[in-house]
Amino acid sequence: MPSHDVMPNMELYQPVQVEDALAIADRLADRGWLVGGGQDTYGWLKDRAKSADALIDLSAIESLRGIRETADGIEIGALTTLTEVASSELIQQQYALLSEAASVVASPQIRNIGTLGGNVSQDVRCWYYRRGLSCYRAGGNLCYADTPQGMNREHSLFEVSRCVAASPSDTAPALVALEATMVIRSLNGERTVAAEDYFIGPAIDILHTTVLRPGEILTAVRIPSTWANATFYFEKVADRNVWDFALVNIAAAFKLSGDGTVEDSRIVCGAVQGTPRRVINVENAIRGRAKNAETAESVATMATDGARALAYNGFKIPLMQNLVKRAISA
């Protein structure tokens, strides 16, 4: 029986050019595994919950790193570390929502290695799935978490089609709130996808959490100037302040008139479904109203319209409502 204390045998490719990485990814298709910081990858492989014939290590491709100003915003290379995103003066000054989100991912050590591209592309964190059980997402015909006895305290409130695992990313809600665009390359060229459409839930695709397909690489994230210097709010609630994934998080951006009236907003919650969830009904309800405690109180319960609590995650409903209330009243 193979030891789980060592990595399984597989080929390793370490390209230094995007073009070479694309050629390898295209040739290997679903037999290859793209690696950025590797914080999610190596656990899967070491635990034998997933396997690959080859790893394609992208960490030596310098063109996938860095934060650049563009004619209409900024572009962040997918391999830019979370620490670099959190500490960037440019992001802090104009898009502080993202720097705040990046600053609370996991621990300082993980942020030093983990990448923005990896954080938004990681797989779900359900322990049944990660233990290698044959659940729906792993090709079986049962969701172990969605049972009366299932341990589902951290799981979804919405869009629970077959799989109730929740999106684990802290930066994903911020990117959706900022109307970011994801840049994806393959041998066939480049395509761009709105961040809101980059993430896909189990009702659409039970096997994937993003639109990335074999042979494709997320190369950059572009943030337009649309929400630069807006009024932002980010908060993450977790069992521990360091290392833990969110129980619920919220990323919100507001455009305010001179008297504090909400002209436009984007309010996005994470860890409540398989993708970042925009609360569009709340956004519509507060448009034209003052951004204050009275407005917040009147719309907070709308945020959880349609929520379905599982056996142990009912606390997420008032938690999500209160985070929406705090974002609007802050």
- Residue 276 inside a domain? The answer is no
Please check whether residue 15 lies inside any domain of the structure. Answer: yes
* Domain tally, the chain: 1
- The whole domain housing 48 covers 11-60
Tracing tokens 């233990």 back to the chain, one arrives at: 131
Question: For residue 15, what pLDDT is reported?
Answer: 98
pLDDT tens-digit map of 50-80? 889 999 999 999 999 999 999 999 999 999 9
Rounded CA-CA distance 156/308 in Å is 8
In whole angstroms, what is the distance from residue 117 CA to residue 102 CA?
A: 12
Residue 77 in any domain: the answer is no
**Residue 293 placed within a domain:** no
Binned at pLDDT 50, 70 and 90, residue 161 comes out as confident
Tell me: the pLDDT tens digits for 264-281? Answer: 999 999 999 999 999 999
**pLDDT tens-place string over residues 118-133:** 999 999 999 999 988 9
- Structure tokens of 139? 């090709």
Cβ atoms 32, 24 nearer than 8 A: yes
- Using one digit for the tens of pLDDT, what is the confidence trace for 162-180? 999 999 999 999 999 999 9
In a domain, 169, yes or no: no
Rg (CA), the chain: 20
**220-237 tens-digit pLDDT:** 999 999 999 999 999 999
Q: What is the pLDDT of residue 4?
A: 58
Provide the pLDDT for residue 5: 63
More confident residue, 236 or 47: 236
CATH number (domain holding residue 37)? 3.30.43.10
Residue 188 resides in a domain: no
Query: 161: part of which helix (H) or strand (E)?
Result: none
pLDDT at 41: 84
Choose among 265, 255, 277, 251: nearest CA to 196: 277
Does the residue 299 lie in any domain? no
Residue 16 lies in a domain: yes
Determine the pLDDT at residue 133.
Answer: 92
Closest to 68 in 3D by CA, of 195, 219, 171, 222: 222
Q: Is 162 exposed, middle or buried (0-12, 13-18, 19+ CB in 10 A)?
A: middle
- Residue 1's pLDDT is 45
Q: Which residue has the higher pLDDT, 317 or 7?
A: 317
